[in-house]
Amino acid sequence: MDDFSLARVVHILSVIMWIGGVAFVTTTAMPAIRAASPPAERLTVFHGFERRFVRQARFWVLLAGASGFWMVESADLWSRFSDGGFWWMHAMVAVWLVFVAMLFAIEPLFLHRRMIASTRPARDYDRMERMHRVVLTFAVAAVIGAAAGSRGLL
């Protein structure tokens, strides 16, 4: 197997684990927490769950970025970023940047402390759940675009 093919396998696996994890949290874990926990306790329950999940998410996001960069660099695909027809590459990078910012900066440096000290945990949980749905929607659109675009369907 050549380097590019290996990078593609690693990239696809990373995206499956990363976006699949986001999908699980958004469509299964958060609704289960909502159903099983009183509004005032949902944030606390979610943080207990998230603590076990965040290291995995960070690993897969970093691996997806590294393998994506490797493919772009090794195949000299940089020109695609100046061609609107490759919008899905822009979408992949944009989704990746949002998650890098959230997982490595915003959440650990600011948001986690704010959520723990929340005076309105029910409202904050609702907002967090909505934001998860929004980022999942964009991530799924990027995945669909990348799958179709990389095969010449767009």
Confidence at residue 152, expressed as pLDDT on a 0 to 100 scale: 80
Whether 129 is covered by a domain: the verdict is yes
Whether 100 is covered by a domain: the verdict is yes
Query: What is the C-alpha separation between 10 and 16, in angstroms, rounded?
Result: 10
Confidence at residue 144, expressed as pLDDT on a 0 to 100 scale: 95
Sign of CA dihedral 140, 94, 87, 148: negative
Confidence at residue 112, expressed as pLDDT on a 0 to 100 scale: 84
Whether 29 is covered by a domain: the verdict is yes
Whether 110 is covered by a domain: the verdict is yes
pTM of the model: 0.91
Span 71-90, average pLDDT: 94
Number of other CB atoms surrounding residue 55 within 10 Å: 10
pLDDT at 25 over 90: yes
Residue 45's domain spans which residues?
3-149
- Residue 120 phi/psi, 5° resolution? -135, 65
Whether 79 is covered by a domain: the verdict is yes
Are 58 and 103 in contact, with CB atoms under 8 Å apart?
yes
Whether 154 is covered by a domain: the verdict is no
Q: What is the mean pLDDT of the chain?
A: 94
Span 20-38, average pLDDT: 97
Are 142 and 93 in contact, with CB atoms under 8 Å apart?
no
- The confidence band for 1, taking pLDDT boundaries of 50, 70 and 90, is confident
Confidence at residue 52, expressed as pLDDT on a 0 to 100 scale: 85
Q: How many domains does the chain have?
A: 1
Whether 106 is covered by a domain: the verdict is yes
Q: What is the pLDDT of residues 83-140, one digit of tens each?
A: 999 999 999 999 999 999 999 999 999 988 888 888 999 999 999 999 999 999 999 9
